[in-house]
Structure 1
């Protein structure tokens, strides 16, 4: 089984989106976070299930909310690194700045 590490910027992505959803409808942010957790658990159990989109970064599309989870896999240490959680309207190439920061 793989270990999941979520970068602080990705945690901030999730937090900001949840706050925004809660402003639109109370409780919707909680539902968003729940859906993120479910998708991350799926990634943890099946890290190769999603194809590589950029170099070694894979992209998992959320089922309900218009967000994508950008992550990389290190098979040597059985770790999944969540790099970004981005709205689909944003330029997905912005994830690469996360690696350099």
Structure 2
């Protein structure tokens, strides 16, 4: 690649998702927390996570990677972050966690 060149974008490609087993419990914990505060809000949280995952799947390169290759995107309506890795044409979803939580809670999943 020449100077200033980037690899071809995966924009528009449908990249497969694979979830770490812990992701389901993260999602359920967040959903329950919001549901306890306001009935129906847990479902809204889960739908927001689904929308964010669909956005990631449509264009995973849109999110920059950190030094370890982990990409993180904040949910629009909730203070939660989805953390994922991009491995060729596979997205490995590591966690969905409260944005203020200590990163060591999910870093070992990478």
TM over 0.5: yes
Question: Could you say which residue in structure 2 is the equivalent of 1:47?
Answer: 60
Root mean square deviation of aligned Cα:
1.1
TM normalised by structure 2 equals 0.83
1:1-101 to 2 correspondences below 5 Å? 1-75=14-88, 78-99=89-110
**TM-score calculated relative to the size of structure 1:** 0.90
> Highest Rg: 1 or 2?
2
Q: Which has the higher strand share?
A: 1
**What is the CA distance between 1:98 and its match in structure 2?**
1.8
Contact 1:71–1:80, Cα closer than 8 Å, also in 2: yes
Gaps of 5+ in 1: none
Deviations 1:53-82 (A, max 9, x none): 34111001111100000000111xx11010
